[in-house]
Amino acid sequence: MPLVDMHDMLHHAHRNGYAVGGFDLVGLDFLEAIVEAGERCRSPLVLSLAESHFEHFDFGIAMAATEYAAQRATVPVAIHLDHGASPASALRAVNLGCNGVMVDASHRPFAENVALTRQVVEMARGCGVAVEGELGYVAGVEGEDAAKHPGEVVYTAPDEAARFAEETGVDCLAVSIGTVHGRMKGTPRLDFERLAAINEAVGRPLVIHGGTGLSDDDFRRLIAHGTAKINYFTALADAAGACIRDHAQRAPEAGYTGLHHGVRTAIAAEVERCMRLWGSAGRADEVLAECRPWRPVEHVIFYNVKGIGDDQVEAMAARGREVLATIPGVRRVYTGRAVQHGAQYRFSWVVRFAHENVIATYRDHPEHVAFADDWFRPVAGDRVTIDFSGIDQVGAPGDGAGAR
């Protein structure tokens, strides 16, 4: 249940002078470690899945596990697509359960970045999903040496940042003030004055990418100037890597589980260190009390048909499952037939919406309108339709991270 609205979560951090970690995960060890650390120090957290990492895991399978872990957590969690490559990536992420999405068009000219980001914001608004845009360019690649990817850092200009936020309507903005993705050589030179000016001009939560390698003092100053989310990956991957290398040296015959022993603990320790340093530790209960919970809606229809046989009902349902699942915010389309013979209604649709906003998006979407008018309504006059907002109980009581 503790999935919370990401817009609210980041605004809470921005208002209260702390930053939430956007921790990229590339497997179950990462997922479990991040949630475990959050529960240990009662911190809100963002579970981030970066599109550039999709070559390492199946996004759909990872999302199922991530959503389950988030629902079972006792601290507030948001699930975010990090560095989405296109509006289609953002749509896929929303329909798989992300309640925050980033589409990174920061390498494009300003006007194109605005147009692409605005397109994503329009889709996401209709689904209640928060959007992160990026202006300026943060070089490097997560998990690698920044020196290997020496792309030019492009600093964010405060006046452009204000225009970008206004014209796109993003919920939070990633900015470039001297950080790089991946391992840094030497001491980073961060432009805090620029960050302060951006914060003043933009007036909404700022995001810093490339958290690895910054000093405690850097983090404090970033947060003092409006940073409400810090993206962090390489240091977690390095902690995991060090642990595996250590096992490989001590026990060269070790297999997969032997090599991975302790990886989760090593990642969790680093995540917890960040949560305490960034001030998010101890904020979980406030966030749960003050931020809107993230709840799906079940759009339920019971119906009987007239004018077609039962075999034609399945053809109609198959068509519906195919087209309706592509509408933004539709998580799942379930079509059913009554088990009991004498049931008052013989057939059902249960369409899961990501969020209450999807009720209107779905109703007015051309694919839905066409399907309803051409296929469904002419034969299903006898029907009842109700939208239910609810809570999914996942796992047995006590089956949470604390129980491990």
**Interacting residue ranges for ligand 13P, rule: CB under 6 A:** 24, 50, 82-83, 142, 181-182, 209-212, 231-235
Work out how close the CB of 208 gets to ligand 13P at its nearest, in angstroms, rounded to a whole number. Answer: 8
Instruction: Give the 3-state secondary structure of residue 179.
Output: coil
Please identify, using beta-carbon distances, which residue of 220 and 261 lies nearer to ligand 13P.
220
Query: CA-based Rg of the chain, rounded to a whole angstrom?
Result: 23
Distance CA 86, CA 65 (A): 24
Please identify, using beta-carbon distances, which residue of 52 and 74 lies nearer to ligand 13P.
52
Burial class (CB in 10 A: 0-12, 13-18, 19+), 60: exposed
Please identify, using beta-carbon distances, which residue of 195 and 297 lies nearer to ligand 13P.
195
Work out how close the CB of 276 gets to ligand 13P at its nearest, in angstroms, rounded to a whole number. Answer: 17
Burial 167-183 (b: 16+ CB within 10 A, else e): bbebbbbbbbbbbbbbb
Distance CA 131, CA 123 (A): 10
Residue pointed to by tokens 């249960």:
350
For 353, residues 6+ apart whose C-beta sits below 8 A from its C-beta are: 296, 297, 298, 299, 329, 330, 331, 359, 362, 387
Angle 131-23-106 from CA coordinates, rounded to 5°: 45
Please identify, using beta-carbon distances, which residue of 228 and 327 lies nearer to ligand 13P.
228
Work out how close the CB of 33 gets to ligand 13P at its nearest, in angstroms, rounded to a whole number. Answer: 15
Please identify, using beta-carbon distances, which residue of 24 and 32 lies nearer to ligand 13P.
24
Work out how close the CB of 246 gets to ligand 13P at its nearest, in angstroms, rounded to a whole number. Answer: 21
- The catalytic residue among 8, 24, 82, 171 is 82
Instruction: Give the 3-state secondary structure of residue 286.
Output: helix
Among this protein's residues, is 82 annotated catalytic? yes
Distance CA 335, CA 322 (A): 11
Please identify, using beta-carbon distances, which residue of 36 and 82 lies nearer to ligand 13P.
82
Work out how close the CB of 58 gets to ligand 13P at its nearest, in angstroms, rounded to a whole number. Answer: 20
Burial class (CB in 10 A: 0-12, 13-18, 19+), 27: middle
Distance CA 47, CA 381 (A): 44
Distance CA 295, CA 391 (A): 7
Please identify, using beta-carbon distances, which residue of 135 and 324 lies nearer to ligand 13P.
135
Work out how close the CB of 179 gets to ligand 13P at its nearest, in angstroms, rounded to a whole number. Answer: 7
The number of beta carbons lying within 10 Å of the beta carbon of residue 197 is: 18
Work out how close the CB of 111 gets to ligand 13P at its nearest, in angstroms, rounded to a whole number. Answer: 24
Catalytic residue IDs: 82
